[in-house]
Amino acid sequence: MGEGSGRSGRLVLHRRTVIAGAGVGVALTAGLVIRNQIRHPPTYYKARPDGRFRRLVLSWPTSNTLVFVVARARFFDRYNLDVVPIEGARTGRGTVADLRGGRCVGAVAPLLTWLDLFREGGLQARIVAGIQSGAFRLLLRRGVKVTRLDNVAGLRIAVTDQDMADRLFFSVMMRRKGIDPEGGVHWVIVPPDQVLDAARAGEIDAVAAHDPLAWQLLRGADSPFSELANSTTGHYGERTNLALGLSDAFLQSDPAAAVALVMALRAASDWIRAQPDQVATLLAGQIAGMGADELRAMLRHETLGISPVGADLRVQVAQYVDEMKLLGRMPDTVGSSAYARKICFNVLQAEAPGQYWSLPVGPT
Protein backbone atom coordinates (compact mmCIF):
# COMPACT_ATOMS: atom_id res chain seq x y z
CA MET A 1 0.00 0.00 0.00
CA GLY A 2 1.16 3.60 -0.11
CA GLU A 3 3.20 3.21 3.06
CA GLY A 4 6.22 5.28 3.99
CA SER A 5 5.78 9.05 3.86
CA GLY A 6 2.09 9.26 4.67
CA ARG A 7 1.77 12.26 2.31
CA SER A 8 0.12 12.55 -1.10
CA GLY A 9 2.46 12.51 -4.11
CA ARG A 10 2.91 15.20 -6.79
CA LEU A 11 2.34 14.55 -10.47
CA VAL A 12 4.22 16.90 -12.77
CA LEU A 13 2.44 18.00 -15.96
CA HIS A 14 3.62 20.06 -18.90
CA ARG A 15 2.75 23.78 -18.56
CA ARG A 16 -0.22 23.56 -16.30
CA THR A 17 -0.97 23.56 -12.62
CA VAL A 18 -4.06 21.89 -11.25
CA ILE A 19 -5.05 21.72 -7.63
CA ALA A 20 -6.94 18.58 -6.66
CA GLY A 21 -10.29 18.95 -4.99
CA ALA A 22 -12.20 16.85 -2.47
CA GLY A 23 -9.39 16.91 0.06
CA VAL A 24 -6.82 15.11 -2.07
CA GLY A 25 -4.49 18.13 -1.97
CA VAL A 26 -2.07 17.16 -4.74
CA ALA A 27 -0.29 19.95 -6.65
CA LEU A 28 0.35 19.40 -10.33
CA THR A 29 3.18 21.60 -11.67
CA ALA A 30 5.51 22.03 -14.66
CA GLY A 31 6.80 18.83 -16.25
CA LEU A 32 9.70 17.30 -18.10
CA VAL A 33 9.96 15.15 -21.19
CA ILE A 34 10.44 11.44 -20.59
CA ARG A 35 11.92 9.41 -23.43
CA ASN A 36 11.96 5.61 -23.55
CA GLN A 37 14.80 4.58 -25.86
CA ILE A 38 14.77 0.76 -25.79
CA ARG A 39 11.65 -1.01 -27.02
CA HIS A 40 9.15 1.78 -27.49
CA PRO A 41 9.34 4.55 -30.10
CA PRO A 42 10.48 7.91 -28.65
CA THR A 43 7.49 9.26 -26.77
CA TYR A 44 7.14 12.57 -24.97
CA TYR A 45 5.31 12.11 -21.70
CA LYS A 46 3.71 14.95 -19.82
CA ALA A 47 4.17 13.21 -16.47
CA ARG A 48 7.22 12.16 -14.49
CA PRO A 49 7.93 10.78 -11.00
CA ASP A 50 8.48 13.36 -8.27
CA GLY A 51 11.54 11.63 -6.76
CA ARG A 52 9.98 10.78 -3.40
CA PHE A 53 10.57 7.35 -1.86
CA ARG A 54 7.54 5.10 -1.57
CA ARG A 55 6.82 1.61 -0.30
CA LEU A 56 4.05 -0.05 -2.34
CA VAL A 57 2.35 -3.41 -2.07
CA LEU A 58 1.45 -5.29 -5.27
CA SER A 59 -0.16 -8.65 -5.88
CA TRP A 60 1.60 -10.59 -8.65
CA PRO A 61 0.76 -14.12 -9.86
CA THR A 62 3.40 -16.56 -8.67
CA SER A 63 2.98 -18.55 -11.89
CA ASN A 64 4.82 -15.84 -13.89
CA THR A 65 7.19 -13.54 -12.00
CA LEU A 66 9.77 -12.76 -14.72
CA VAL A 67 9.19 -9.01 -15.04
CA PHE A 68 8.75 -8.51 -11.29
CA VAL A 69 12.03 -10.27 -10.45
CA VAL A 70 13.93 -8.12 -12.98
CA ALA A 71 12.23 -4.92 -11.83
CA ARG A 72 13.03 -5.63 -8.20
CA ALA A 73 16.66 -6.44 -9.01
CA ARG A 74 17.39 -3.47 -11.28
CA PHE A 75 14.68 -0.83 -11.62
CA PHE A 76 12.48 -0.22 -8.58
CA ASP A 77 15.37 1.43 -6.72
CA ARG A 78 16.00 3.76 -9.65
CA TYR A 79 12.46 5.06 -9.30
CA ASN A 80 12.66 5.33 -5.49
CA LEU A 81 10.30 2.43 -4.97
CA ASP A 82 10.29 -0.44 -2.50
CA VAL A 83 7.71 -2.79 -3.99
CA VAL A 84 6.56 -5.62 -1.76
CA PRO A 85 4.66 -8.55 -3.32
CA ILE A 86 1.82 -10.28 -1.53
CA GLU A 87 2.75 -13.93 -1.20
CA GLY A 88 0.60 -16.79 -2.35
CA ALA A 89 -1.61 -15.74 -5.27
CA ARG A 90 -0.95 -18.17 -8.11
CA THR A 91 -3.65 -16.94 -10.50
CA GLY A 92 -4.83 -13.60 -11.82
CA ARG A 93 -8.12 -14.00 -10.05
CA GLY A 94 -6.20 -14.33 -6.80
CA THR A 95 -4.21 -11.15 -7.37
CA VAL A 96 -7.28 -9.12 -8.30
CA ALA A 97 -9.03 -10.48 -5.20
CA ASP A 98 -6.17 -8.98 -3.18
CA LEU A 99 -6.75 -5.63 -4.90
CA ARG A 100 -10.49 -5.78 -4.37
CA GLY A 101 -9.92 -6.58 -0.70
CA GLY A 102 -7.70 -3.53 -0.17
CA ARG A 103 -4.58 -5.57 0.56
CA CYS A 104 -2.55 -3.86 -2.19
CA VAL A 105 -2.59 -0.79 -4.43
CA GLY A 106 -2.25 -2.75 -7.65
CA ALA A 107 -2.46 -6.21 -9.16
CA VAL A 108 -1.03 -7.95 -12.20
CA ALA A 109 -3.25 -10.41 -14.05
CA PRO A 110 -3.90 -11.62 -17.61
CA LEU A 111 -6.08 -9.21 -19.58
CA LEU A 112 -8.62 -11.97 -20.21
CA THR A 113 -8.94 -12.37 -16.45
CA TRP A 114 -9.25 -8.60 -15.93
CA LEU A 115 -12.11 -8.49 -18.44
CA ASP A 116 -13.88 -11.40 -16.78
CA LEU A 117 -13.72 -9.63 -13.42
CA PHE A 118 -14.72 -6.21 -14.75
CA ARG A 119 -17.74 -7.91 -16.29
CA GLU A 120 -18.71 -9.30 -12.90
CA GLY A 121 -18.80 -5.74 -11.53
CA GLY A 122 -17.71 -3.94 -8.38
CA LEU A 123 -14.05 -3.60 -9.36
CA GLN A 124 -12.86 -0.07 -8.61
CA ALA A 125 -9.65 -0.07 -10.60
CA ARG A 126 -8.11 0.86 -13.95
CA ILE A 127 -5.70 -1.00 -16.23
CA VAL A 128 -2.67 1.24 -16.68
CA ALA A 129 -0.02 -0.81 -18.53
CA GLY A 130 0.68 -4.06 -20.27
CA ILE A 131 3.51 -5.98 -18.64
CA GLN A 132 4.43 -8.95 -20.78
CA SER A 133 3.28 -10.84 -23.86
CA GLY A 134 1.61 -14.19 -23.50
CA ALA A 135 3.50 -17.47 -23.65
CA PHE A 136 0.50 -19.81 -23.71
CA ARG A 137 1.20 -23.28 -25.10
CA LEU A 138 -1.14 -26.13 -25.97
CA LEU A 139 0.93 -29.29 -25.54
CA LEU A 140 -0.22 -32.57 -27.06
CA ARG A 141 0.62 -35.95 -25.56
CA ARG A 142 2.78 -37.91 -27.96
CA GLY A 143 0.78 -40.65 -29.62
CA VAL A 144 -2.43 -38.64 -29.82
CA LYS A 145 -3.31 -38.51 -33.53
CA VAL A 146 -3.96 -34.78 -33.86
CA THR A 147 -1.88 -32.45 -36.02
CA ARG A 148 -4.02 -29.30 -36.14
CA LEU A 149 -5.97 -27.21 -33.66
CA ASP A 150 -9.03 -27.78 -35.86
CA ASN A 151 -9.07 -31.42 -34.72
CA VAL A 152 -8.93 -31.12 -30.91
CA ALA A 153 -12.67 -31.79 -30.40
CA GLY A 154 -13.16 -34.60 -27.93
CA LEU A 155 -9.71 -34.32 -26.33
CA ARG A 156 -9.12 -34.30 -22.57
CA ILE A 157 -7.20 -31.07 -21.99
CA ALA A 158 -5.60 -30.42 -18.61
CA VAL A 159 -5.35 -26.99 -17.01
CA THR A 160 -3.55 -26.47 -13.74
CA ASP A 161 -6.25 -24.32 -12.15
CA GLN A 162 -9.78 -23.44 -13.19
CA ASP A 163 -8.93 -19.74 -12.71
CA MET A 164 -5.97 -19.68 -15.10
CA ALA A 165 -6.28 -17.67 -18.31
CA ASP A 166 -4.76 -20.55 -20.31
CA ARG A 167 -8.18 -22.08 -20.81
CA LEU A 168 -9.72 -18.77 -21.91
CA PHE A 169 -6.96 -18.12 -24.44
CA PHE A 170 -7.22 -21.49 -26.14
CA SER A 171 -11.00 -21.33 -25.94
CA VAL A 172 -10.80 -18.23 -28.15
CA MET A 173 -8.57 -20.05 -30.62
CA MET A 174 -10.93 -23.02 -30.69
CA ARG A 175 -13.97 -20.82 -31.23
CA ARG A 176 -12.25 -19.26 -34.22
CA LYS A 177 -11.82 -22.77 -35.62
CA GLY A 178 -15.51 -23.54 -35.16
CA ILE A 179 -15.09 -25.72 -32.05
CA ASP A 180 -17.30 -25.25 -29.01
CA PRO A 181 -14.70 -24.80 -26.23
CA GLU A 182 -17.17 -25.78 -23.53
CA GLY A 183 -18.96 -28.80 -24.95
CA GLY A 184 -16.49 -29.80 -27.64
CA VAL A 185 -13.51 -30.66 -25.41
CA HIS A 186 -13.13 -32.03 -21.89
CA TRP A 187 -11.27 -29.71 -19.52
CA VAL A 188 -9.56 -31.49 -16.61
CA ILE A 189 -8.06 -29.79 -13.56
CA VAL A 190 -4.63 -31.27 -12.81
CA PRO A 191 -2.19 -29.72 -10.29
CA PRO A 192 1.10 -28.58 -11.89
CA ASP A 193 3.19 -31.27 -10.22
CA GLN A 194 0.87 -34.03 -11.47
CA VAL A 195 0.61 -33.10 -15.16
CA LEU A 196 3.52 -35.27 -16.31
CA ASP A 197 2.26 -38.32 -14.45
CA ALA A 198 -1.26 -37.83 -15.82
CA ALA A 199 0.08 -37.63 -19.37
CA ARG A 200 2.31 -40.69 -19.01
CA ALA A 201 -0.61 -42.64 -17.56
CA GLY A 202 -2.77 -41.69 -20.54
CA GLU A 203 -5.27 -39.83 -18.33
CA ILE A 204 -5.05 -36.63 -20.38
CA ASP A 205 -4.48 -35.94 -24.08
CA ALA A 206 -3.13 -32.41 -23.84
CA VAL A 207 -2.36 -29.57 -21.44
CA ALA A 208 -2.93 -25.83 -21.76
CA ALA A 209 -0.36 -23.88 -19.74
CA HIS A 210 1.99 -20.90 -19.95
CA ASP A 211 5.69 -20.37 -19.44
CA PRO A 212 7.67 -21.14 -17.44
CA LEU A 213 5.62 -24.24 -16.55
CA ALA A 214 4.66 -24.94 -20.17
CA TRP A 215 8.29 -24.69 -21.26
CA GLN A 216 9.42 -27.12 -18.57
CA LEU A 217 6.70 -29.59 -19.51
CA LEU A 218 7.69 -29.38 -23.16
CA ARG A 219 11.48 -29.36 -22.83
CA GLY A 220 12.04 -31.52 -19.76
CA ALA A 221 13.85 -34.83 -19.92
CA ASP A 222 11.70 -37.57 -21.47
CA SER A 223 8.86 -35.11 -22.04
CA PRO A 224 5.68 -36.84 -23.21
CA PHE A 225 4.55 -33.67 -25.04
CA SER A 226 4.89 -31.95 -28.37
CA GLU A 227 3.62 -28.43 -29.07
CA LEU A 228 0.40 -28.06 -31.03
CA ALA A 229 -0.26 -24.31 -30.73
CA ASN A 230 1.05 -21.26 -28.89
CA SER A 231 0.64 -17.50 -28.45
CA THR A 232 4.24 -16.58 -29.17
CA THR A 233 3.94 -16.12 -32.94
CA GLY A 234 1.85 -13.97 -35.27
CA HIS A 235 -0.30 -11.15 -33.96
CA TYR A 236 -0.81 -12.90 -30.62
CA GLY A 237 2.92 -12.60 -29.93
CA GLU A 238 2.77 -8.82 -30.28
CA ARG A 239 -0.02 -8.43 -27.73
CA THR A 240 0.33 -8.06 -24.01
CA ASN A 241 -1.01 -10.77 -21.76
CA LEU A 242 -0.21 -9.69 -18.21
CA ALA A 243 -1.42 -6.21 -17.32
CA LEU A 244 -1.10 -3.94 -14.30
CA GLY A 245 -4.26 -2.55 -12.74
CA LEU A 246 -4.26 0.10 -10.01
CA SER A 247 -7.07 0.97 -7.65
CA ASP A 248 -9.05 4.14 -8.31
CA ALA A 249 -8.27 5.29 -4.77
CA PHE A 250 -4.52 4.94 -5.34
CA LEU A 251 -4.68 6.76 -8.68
CA GLN A 252 -6.53 9.60 -7.02
CA SER A 253 -4.37 9.87 -3.89
CA ASP A 254 -0.86 9.40 -5.32
CA PRO A 255 -0.70 9.66 -9.12
CA ALA A 256 3.06 10.34 -9.09
CA ALA A 257 3.62 6.95 -7.47
CA ALA A 258 1.60 5.37 -10.28
CA VAL A 259 3.86 7.09 -12.82
CA ALA A 260 7.02 5.78 -11.12
CA LEU A 261 5.64 2.24 -10.90
CA VAL A 262 4.58 2.07 -14.55
CA MET A 263 7.92 3.49 -15.72
CA ALA A 264 9.90 1.02 -13.61
CA LEU A 265 7.96 -1.98 -14.94
CA ARG A 266 8.23 -0.79 -18.55
CA ALA A 267 11.97 -0.31 -18.09
CA ALA A 268 12.23 -3.87 -16.80
CA SER A 269 10.24 -5.19 -19.76
CA ASP A 270 12.48 -3.32 -22.20
CA TRP A 271 15.65 -4.56 -20.51
CA ILE A 272 14.45 -8.15 -20.76
CA ARG A 273 14.10 -7.70 -24.50
CA ALA A 274 17.44 -5.96 -24.93
CA GLN A 275 19.49 -8.21 -22.63
CA PRO A 276 17.98 -11.74 -22.58
CA ASP A 277 21.33 -13.38 -21.78
CA GLN A 278 21.82 -11.13 -18.75
CA VAL A 279 18.24 -11.83 -17.71
CA ALA A 280 18.91 -15.57 -17.82
CA THR A 281 22.00 -15.15 -15.66
CA LEU A 282 20.17 -12.87 -13.21
CA LEU A 283 17.21 -15.21 -12.81
CA ALA A 284 19.07 -18.54 -12.76
CA GLY A 285 17.57 -20.65 -9.99
CA GLN A 286 14.95 -18.01 -9.07
CA ILE A 287 12.13 -19.13 -11.35
CA ALA A 288 10.81 -22.64 -10.87
CA GLY A 289 14.33 -23.96 -10.35
CA MET A 290 15.40 -23.17 -13.92
CA GLY A 291 19.08 -22.69 -14.70
CA ALA A 292 20.53 -19.98 -16.92
CA ASP A 293 20.69 -22.20 -20.03
CA GLU A 294 17.04 -23.24 -19.67
CA LEU A 295 15.93 -19.65 -19.16
CA ARG A 296 17.99 -18.47 -22.11
CA ALA A 297 16.38 -21.08 -24.37
CA MET A 298 12.90 -20.19 -23.14
CA LEU A 299 13.38 -16.46 -23.67
CA ARG A 300 14.57 -17.08 -27.25
CA HIS A 301 11.15 -18.61 -27.96
CA GLU A 302 9.10 -15.77 -26.47
CA THR A 303 8.22 -12.27 -27.67
CA LEU A 304 9.87 -9.92 -25.19
CA GLY A 305 9.41 -6.25 -24.37
CA ILE A 306 5.64 -5.98 -24.86
CA SER A 307 4.42 -3.32 -22.39
CA PRO A 308 1.90 -0.98 -24.05
CA VAL A 309 0.28 2.05 -22.45
CA GLY A 310 -2.20 4.65 -23.64
CA ALA A 311 -3.74 4.22 -27.08
CA ASP A 312 -1.68 1.09 -27.83
CA LEU A 313 -2.99 -0.57 -24.69
CA ARG A 314 -6.59 0.44 -25.42
CA VAL A 315 -6.41 -1.06 -28.92
CA GLN A 316 -5.24 -4.38 -27.49
CA VAL A 317 -7.85 -4.36 -24.74
CA ALA A 318 -10.55 -3.74 -27.37
CA GLN A 319 -9.29 -6.79 -29.28
CA TYR A 320 -9.57 -8.89 -26.15
CA VAL A 321 -13.10 -7.56 -25.57
CA ASP A 322 -14.06 -8.76 -29.06
CA GLU A 323 -12.65 -12.19 -28.22
CA MET A 324 -14.59 -12.35 -24.97
CA LYS A 325 -17.70 -11.72 -27.06
CA LEU A 326 -16.84 -14.81 -29.10
CA LEU A 327 -16.96 -16.81 -25.88
CA GLY A 328 -20.23 -15.25 -24.75
CA ARG A 329 -18.46 -13.67 -21.78
CA MET A 330 -19.15 -10.13 -22.90
CA PRO A 331 -22.43 -8.79 -24.37
CA ASP A 332 -22.36 -8.16 -28.12
CA THR A 333 -23.93 -4.77 -27.43
CA VAL A 334 -20.81 -3.50 -25.66
CA GLY A 335 -18.71 -1.16 -27.80
CA SER A 336 -15.23 -2.65 -27.59
CA SER A 337 -13.27 0.59 -28.07
CA ALA A 338 -15.50 2.55 -25.71
CA TYR A 339 -15.24 -0.16 -23.08
CA ALA A 340 -11.44 -0.18 -23.39
CA ARG A 341 -11.37 3.60 -22.86
CA LYS A 342 -13.49 3.17 -19.76
CA ILE A 343 -11.33 0.58 -18.01
CA CYS A 344 -7.89 1.85 -19.11
CA PHE A 345 -6.04 4.93 -17.92
CA ASN A 346 -2.77 6.43 -19.16
CA VAL A 347 -0.90 7.69 -16.11
CA LEU A 348 2.09 8.76 -18.23
CA GLN A 349 0.32 11.07 -20.61
CA ALA A 350 -2.42 12.47 -18.40
CA GLU A 351 -3.66 14.92 -21.03
CA ALA A 352 -6.80 15.48 -18.98
CA PRO A 353 -5.54 15.72 -15.38
CA GLY A 354 -9.02 16.31 -14.07
CA GLN A 355 -9.69 12.63 -14.69
CA TYR A 356 -7.54 11.82 -11.69
CA TRP A 357 -10.05 13.45 -9.43
CA SER A 358 -13.30 12.44 -11.08
CA LEU A 359 -12.83 8.74 -11.77
CA PRO A 360 -16.20 6.93 -11.65
CA VAL A 361 -16.58 4.10 -9.20
CA GLY A 362 -15.51 1.26 -11.49
CA PRO A 363 -16.64 0.59 -15.06
CA THR A 364 -20.18 -0.50 -15.86
pLDDT in tens, 158-182: 999 888 899 999 999 999 999 999 9
**65-87: average pLDDT:** 95
Q: Which of 157, 137, 361 has the alpha carbon at shortest distance from 236?
A: 137
What is the per-residue pLDDT for 48?
76
Q: Which of 210, 214, 152 has the alpha carbon at shortest distance from 186?
A: 152
341 compared with 351, residue with greater pLDDT: 341
**76-90: average pLDDT:** 93
> How many whole angstroms separate alpha carbon 17 and alpha carbon 32?
14
Percent of the chain with pLDDT over 70: 83
With 80 as the cut, is the pLDDT of residue 343 above it?
yes
| Mean pLDDT, the chain, integer | 85
With 70 as the cut, is the pLDDT of residue 215 above it?
yes
Give the model's confidence band at 49: pLDDT under 50 very low, under 70 low, under 90 confident, else very high. confident
Residue 3 carries which DSSP code? B
pLDDT digits (tens, 9 = 90+) for 257-296: 999 999 999 999 999 999 999 999 998 888 777 899 999 9
Give the model's confidence band at 360: pLDDT under 50 very low, under 70 low, under 90 confident, else very high. low
DSSP 132-198: EE--EEEEEETT----SGGG-TT-EEEES-TT-HHHHHHHHHHHHTT--TTTSSEEEE--GGGHHHH
What is the per-residue pLDDT for 359?
59
Residue 258 carries which DSSP code? H
pLDDT digits (tens, 9 = 90+) for 308-325: 999 999 999 999 999 999
With 50 as the cut, is the pLDDT of residue 202 above it?
yes
122 compared with 358, residue with greater pLDDT: 122
CB 144 within 8 A of CB 152: no
What is the per-residue pLDDT for 255?
92
Query: 221: Cβ–Cβ under 8 A, 6 or more apart, which residues?
Result: none
What is the per-residue pLDDT for 355?
53
**65-84: average pLDDT:** 96
Give the model's confidence band at 145: pLDDT under 50 very low, under 70 low, under 90 confident, else very high. very high
**68-96: average pLDDT:** 94
With 90 as the cut, is the pLDDT of residue 56 above it?
yes
State yes or no: cis peptide before 212, omega within 30 of 0: yes
CB 137 within 8 A of CB 209: yes
With 60 as the cut, is the pLDDT of residue 236 above it?
yes
Domains of the chain: 54-134+238-343 (3.40.190.10), 136-230 (3.40.190.10)
With 70 as the cut, is the pLDDT of residue 12 above it?
no
